[in-house]
């Protein structure tokens, strides 16, 4: 179960309240349900605050499968829709 330290939000709060530190915690110690929530927010607004915070958190994160997955999801969300 994901837990935040040093920030005044809970993992059950909306992702947009997590900040860079919360997103970094989710990358490093979260699970698939946490990552799905992050990806959903990034897909909903690829140029928004969560996407910007995620990009910064990914720069700080240690190499991992989660980092690779979320890096790919962020890049995919920022790609314009093709074939429309």
Q: Which residue would you say has higher pLDDT here, 84 or 81? A: 81
Q: Any idea what DSSP says for residue 14?
A: -
Angle at 11 between CA 34 and CA 67, to 5 degrees: 40
Task: Using alpha carbons, list the distances in angstroms from residue 14 to 9, 17, 52, 65.
Answer: 9, 6, 16, 24
Q: What is the pTM of this model?
A: 0.91
Q: What is the mean pLDDT of residues 54-82?
A: 93
Q: What is the mean pLDDT of residues 52-64?
A: 98
């Amino acid at each position: 179960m994901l837990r935040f330290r040093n920030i005044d939000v809970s993992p059950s709060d909306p992702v947009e309240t997590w900040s860079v530190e919360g997103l970094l915690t989710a990358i490093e110690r979260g699970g698939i349900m946490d990552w799905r929530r992050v990806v959903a927010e990034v897909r909903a607004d690829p140029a928004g605050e969560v996407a910007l915070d995620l990009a910064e958190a990914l720069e700080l994160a240690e190499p991992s499968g989660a980092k690779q997955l979320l890096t790919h999801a962020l890049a995919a969300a920022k790609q314009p829709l093709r074939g429309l």
